[in-house]
């Protein structure tokens, strides 16, 4: 039976080859010159995109399509973010690695395209997701080469962190090194890290029964790898795989992340087509097993996938993720680009739960401070100096009953709702009337309009730290114990921010607002 993912890939590439975008140009360029052509194309065509929805402080595709973050790392003195990139079209297609660098996770510098599909082991579908690291003053990219229905792990190296050469030894993990009970066509997204003078690689996989799993490999050199074992296995994701594994030690806790396809919805959790989950536990480096108790969702909003983490020299763990979801319409396609990343987040672990906070560097860009306190809230309330589309809001509500919250990006007919529903103890993010419609083509999610998240108030107190950036909303709840992320596409003049409550006894305990000016 044809594997579903391969079938989807086949369809997507078929559409591309039938004349969408510049597929013919891609076809002509299947040689080493391909990389230069891709970068030339980006430089010329990035000038022609419509910027109306591009976030000021979120990194996004310069032109064409962006999906997963790749190779998010600190290497050779710079922070690097690579990304799954089809420069030639606003749809997924032959995968390149685009490249940004940054000093502060807020301002990003576009660098030459790093990888193009130009070798027998990565032509057809291209260079899929992976990771990066520094070793002996060189930088290495570990990625999945996809040729037909064969996925293998490959490596490219660089002396300057800008120009990468695929090594002669590729593929460094070939199909023969995949355990017999595991899929050869769903074997991707290597996450490499170092532990006790050895390198370890986690690879997303599924077994022949369709259960999602993560495989662990070990190497002393980065080039010769030995299979160690199966890290985690989940019978819950048939027929999907555990994509994009990631691993970090945060506050002395081992945290394993993965992006399982089609993770089953459970109440208000895992409502998107695919989800990002984390598990806190212990990795046994001999057997490869990762023992854990609970699988939790990382973000309860709409648009969050394929997350990656890096360690900063000052010891922080920073996470980034694709701020988009598969199988949805993407309104910026009409503007010449698709795909953006979240505002990077600092991670910590408290009481065995992940805590997320916006990267502290964002505070450098705050302007125009406004603050109010103790405002009783019935009906609708506005403040003349609180509004805008590139804003940080920090609101604490005292909640007693009914629905209490915010209306964001308000215009004549538009509003994005973010409110606490005391009857169901849920935080609701409703983008039904936000602006341009986002449609889902997946039968897994009931809609792409409303997400709910179970949240306990702190003795009736609810804190929402909210970042608006033209076409995105990111919410950090009660100090980051939960988050919700989503894209919205309001009209140009939909700039209003309102506070509302339909219950009795609710109030704004405090609110601060900054404009974020880049």
- Annotated catalytic residues are 68
Contact predicate 72/308, CB 8 Å:
yes
Token pair for 325: 């979801």
Widest Cα–Cα separation across the chain: 70
Among 118, 149, 243, 421, binds ligand FRU (CB under 6 A): 243
Sheet holding 150-158, edge to edge: 126-135, 138-147, 150-158, 165-166
**Separate counts of helices (H) and strands (E) for the chain:** 3, 34
Based on the shown chain and the rule CB under 6 A, indicate whether residue 95 belongs to the binding site for ligand FRU.
yes
Among 90, 116, 154, 244, binds ligand FRU (CB under 6 A): 244
Q: Shortest distance, CB of residue 262 to ligand FRU, whole angstroms?
A: 12
**78: how many CB neighbours lie within 10 A of its CB?**
15
Among 22, 84, 213, 434, binds ligand FRU (CB under 6 A): 84
- What residues between 247 and 286 interact with ligand FRU by CB under 6 A? none
Among 61, 111, 123, 129, binds ligand FRU (CB under 6 A): 129
Contact predicate 234/209, CB 8 Å:
no
Q: Shortest distance, CB of residue 421 to ligand FRU, whole angstroms?
A: 32
In the bound state with ligand FRU, the residue whose beta carbon lies nearer, of 143 and 514, is 143
Residue nearest to ligand FRU (CB): 128
In the bound state with ligand FRU, the residue whose beta carbon lies nearer, of 146 and 477, is 146
How does DSSP assign 199-252, residue by residue? EEEEEEEEETT--EEEEEEEESSSSS-EEEEEEEEEGGGTT--EEEEEEEEETT
Q: Shortest distance, CB of residue 258 to ligand FRU, whole angstroms?
A: 10
Based on the shown chain and the rule CB under 6 A, indicate whether residue 29 belongs to the binding site for ligand FRU.
no
Peptide bond into 171 cis (omega under 30): yes
**370: how many CB neighbours lie within 10 A of its CB?**
15
Mark 168-187 with x for binding to ligand FRU (rule: CB under 6 A) and - for no binding. Answer: --------------------
Q: What are phi and psi of 6, to 5 degrees?
A: -60, -35
Peptide bond into 238 cis (omega under 30): no
Q: Shortest distance, CB of residue 240 to ligand FRU, whole angstroms?
A: 10
Token pair for 54: 């591009």
What is the enclosing helix (H) or strand (E) of 141? strand 138-147
Among 61, 68, 191, 355, binds ligand FRU (CB under 6 A): 68
Q: Shortest distance, CB of residue 53 to ligand FRU, whole angstroms?
A: 21
Based on the shown chain and the rule CB under 6 A, indicate whether residue 468 belongs to the binding site for ligand FRU.
no
Q: What are phi and psi of 7, to 5 degrees?
A: -65, -45
What is the enclosing helix (H) or strand (E) of 9? helix 4-17
In the bound state with ligand FRU, the residue whose beta carbon lies nearer, of 258 and 386, is 258
Among 85, 119, 188, 407, binds ligand FRU (CB under 6 A): 188
Number of residues that bind ligand FRU (CB under 6 A): 13
Among 118, 122, 149, 189, binds ligand FRU (CB under 6 A): 189
Based on the shown chain and the rule CB under 6 A, indicate whether residue 345 belongs to the binding site for ligand FRU.
no
- What residues between 306 and 335 interact with ligand FRU by CB under 6 A? 306
Based on the shown chain and the rule CB under 6 A, indicate whether residue 462 belongs to the binding site for ligand FRU.
no
Q: Shortest distance, CB of residue 322 to ligand FRU, whole angstroms?
A: 7
Q: Check the CA dihedral 393-54-304-496 and report its sign.
A: positive
In the bound state with ligand FRU, the residue whose beta carbon lies nearer, of 117 and 490, is 117
Which residues are near ligand FRU by CB under 6 A? Answer: 67-68, 84, 95, 128-129, 144, 188-189, 243-244, 305-306
């Amino acid at each position: 039976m044809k594997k579903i993912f391969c079938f989807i890939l086949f369809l997507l590439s078929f559409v591309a080859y039938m004349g969408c975008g510049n597929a013919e140009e891609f076809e002509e360029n299947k040689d080493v010159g391909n990389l230069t052509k891709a970068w030339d194309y980006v430089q010329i065509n990035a000038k022609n995109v419509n910027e109306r929805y591009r976030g000021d402080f979120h990194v996004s595709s310069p032109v064409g399509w962006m999906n997963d973050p790749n190779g998010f790392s600190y290497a050779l003195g710079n922070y690097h973010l690579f990304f799954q990139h089809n420069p030639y079209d606003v749809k997924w297609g032959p995968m390149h690695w685009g490249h940004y660098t940054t000093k502060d996770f807020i301002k990003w510098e576009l660098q030459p395209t790093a990888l193009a599909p130009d070798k027998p082991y990565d032509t057809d579908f291209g260079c899929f997701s992976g990771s990066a690291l520094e070793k002996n003053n060189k930088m290495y990219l570990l990625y999945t080469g996809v040729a037909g229905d064969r996925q293998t792990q490959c490596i490219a190296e660089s002396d300057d962190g800008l120009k990468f050469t695929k090594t002669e030894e590729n593929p460094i993990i070939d199909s023969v090194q995949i355990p017999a009970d595991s899929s050869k066509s769903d074997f991707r997204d290597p996450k490499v890290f170092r532990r006790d003078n050895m390198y370890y690689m986690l690879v997303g996989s599924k077994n022949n029964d369709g259960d999602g799993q993560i495989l662990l490999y070990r190497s002393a050199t980065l080039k010769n790898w030995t299979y160690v074992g199966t890290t985690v296995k989940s019978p819950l994701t048939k027929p999907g795989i555990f994509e994009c594994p990631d691993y970090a030690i945060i506050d002395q806790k081992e945290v394993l992340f993965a992006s399982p396809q089609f993770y089953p919805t459970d109440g208000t959790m895992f409502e998107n087509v695919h989800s990002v989950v984390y598990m806190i536990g212990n990795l046994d480096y001999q057997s490869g097993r990762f023992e854990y108790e609970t699988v939790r969702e990382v973000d309860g909003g709409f648009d969050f996938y394929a997350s990656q983490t890096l360690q900063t020299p000052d010891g922080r763990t920073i996470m980034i993720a694709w701020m988009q979801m598969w199988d949805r319409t993407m309104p910026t396609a009409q503007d010449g680009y698709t795909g953006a990343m979240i505002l990077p987040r600092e991670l910590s672990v408290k009481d065995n739960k992940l805590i997320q906070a916006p990267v502290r560097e964002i505070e450098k860009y705050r302007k125009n401070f406004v603050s109010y306190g103790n405002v009783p809230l019935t009906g609708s309330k506005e403040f003349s100096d609180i509004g805008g589309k590139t804003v940080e809001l920090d609101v604490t509500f005292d909640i007693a009953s009914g629905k209490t919250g915010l209306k964001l990006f308000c215009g004549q007919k538009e509003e994005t709702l973010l409110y606490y529903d005391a009857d169901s103890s849920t935080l609701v993010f409703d983008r039904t009337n936000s602006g341009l419609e986002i449609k889902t083509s997946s039968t897994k999610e009931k809609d792409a309009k409303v997400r709910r998240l179970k949240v306990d108030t702190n003795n009736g107190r609810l804190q929402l730290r909210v970042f608006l950036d033209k076409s995105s909303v990111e919410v950090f709840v009660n100090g980051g114990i939960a988050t919700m992320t989503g894209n919205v596409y309001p009209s140009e003049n939909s700039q209003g921010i309102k506070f509302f409550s339909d219950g009795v006894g609710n109030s704004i305990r405090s609110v601060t607002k900054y404009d974020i000016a880049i």
